[in-house]
Amino acid sequence: MLTINVRGENIEVTQSIRDYVEKRLSKMEKYFSDDSNPIAHVNLKTYPSKGTKVEVTIPLSYMTLRAEEINDDMYAGVDLVVDKLERQVKKFKTRVNRKGRESGSIKDIPLDDVSAEDAKEDESQIVRTKRLSLKPMDAEEAVLQMEMLGHEFFIFEDAETNGASIVYKRNDGKYGLIETNE
């Protein structure tokens, strides 16, 4: 049974909004086994420009499903988010099944009702492989390198920690840093 927590920022979550979100997200229950007890965290935001943002996060023991959508119509945003979440589940299940077939055993992941037909349509394919050597630098230099290359992210060796790190450009135009635990 999927538990759904709905929270609103700059908006009062009315019973009709809550019912719509619960109705749409209940479609996701068919993908989870009865013993997994997932919890969906739904965050609804409104902006002064009358736009809305719908964020849904479903943390599971083996992965986290997360989708967000910005739309003028909140109900349409909820529909689009649920569609994104379903695609993520199908993609994950396809990947697990493919790896299971390759290694000779299929892992017992508590996701149900993903047909082979659905899985084929969402198969991921690696179309290019690139090899690189990580250069020691600090995060600011990595951002400059990323900007010079015109990329959305840049992988580098942190000069202080000697660990691999990634800088990336966020949707708000600022930068993020991902550091590895050594």
Task: Give the CATH number of the domain where residue 21 resides.
Answer: 3.30.160.100
Nearest to 146 by CA among 102, 178, 99: 178
**Is residue 109 domain-resident?**
yes
Phi, psi (rounded to 5 degrees) for 110: -75, 60
Residue 105 belongs to a domain: yes
The answer to whether residue 115 sits within a structural domain is: yes
CATH number (domain holding residue 172): 3.30.505.50
Phi, psi at 38, each rounded to 5°: -75, 155
What would the pLDDT profile of 65-77 be if each residue is shown by its tens digit?
Answer: 888 999 999 999 9
State the Cα–Cα distance between residues 81 and 66, nearest whole angstrom: 9
- With a cut of 70, which residues of the chain have pLDDT below it? 34, 99-124, 182
131 domain-assigned? no
Give residue 62's pLDDT. Answer: 72
Q: Assess whether 16 and 93 both reside in one domain.
A: yes
Number of domains making up the chain: 2
Q: How far is CA 46 from CA 33, 54, 73, 112, in A?
A: 34, 9, 10, 34
In this structure, how many other beta carbons lie within 10 angstroms of the beta carbon of residue 29?
14
**In degrees rounded to 5, what are phi and psi of residue 4?**
-120, 120
DSSP classification of residue 135: P
**Residues 26 and 98 occupy one common structural domain:** yes
Q: Strand, helix or coil at 16?
A: helix
pTM of the model: 0.58
**98 and 166, same domain (yes or no):** no
User: Are residues 105 and 146 located together in one domain of the fold?
Assistant: no
- Structural domain ending residue among the three candidates 98, 121, 144: 121
Residue 126 belongs to a domain: no
User: Residue type at 28?
Assistant: M
Comparing C-alpha atoms, which of 99, 151, 95 is closest to residue 124? 95
* Calpha distance 4→26 (Å, rounded): 9
Shared-domain flag, residues 30 and 106:
yes
Distance of alpha carbon 58 from alpha carbon 53, whole angstroms: 17
β-pair partners for 153: 168
Its domain, for residue 50, covers 3-121
pLDDT at position 15: 94
Q: Is 89 in the same domain as 16?
A: yes
pLDDT tens readout for residues 34-66: 677 788 899 999 888 878 999 998 887 777 888
**Is 116 found in the same domain as 153?**
no
* Residues 39, 117 share a domain: yes
pLDDT at 120: 53
Residues 140 and 105 in one domain: no
Do both 28 and 65 map to the same domain?
yes
